Amino acid sequence: MEEAIKARYEHYQRSSEYRETRQKHEDLRAKLKVLKNHVEGWSSPKQEQHTDQEAGPSCSLSSKSNDHSGRKNAAAPTV
């Protein structure tokens, strides 16, 4: 029975188009896995931060707070 199965699908193993398509599929699955891990890693801290804010702010959100550039009271850039 095993020989019958091997014979049935042997033409796939000899087909270069099939092998190329199979390799592309495996490559895309690997890339998708990496992207999923990045998204999970990025969203996990954001989710924790969101639940912390629901419990109450841990810092003052006054106008004197620093923006990401380290400047205090930074005005919006004009174009």
Domain residue spans of the chain: 2-52
Provide φ and ψ at 73, rounded to 5°: 50, 45
d(CA 6, CA 52): 57
Degrees to nearest 5, angle at CA 9 with 4 and 3: 20
- Give, for all 79 residues of the chain, the pLDDT tens digit: 899 898 888 888 889 999 999 999 999 999 999 999 999 888 776 666 655 555 555 554 544 444 454 544 445 555 4
Whole-model pTM: value is 0.45
54, two tokens: 């629901």
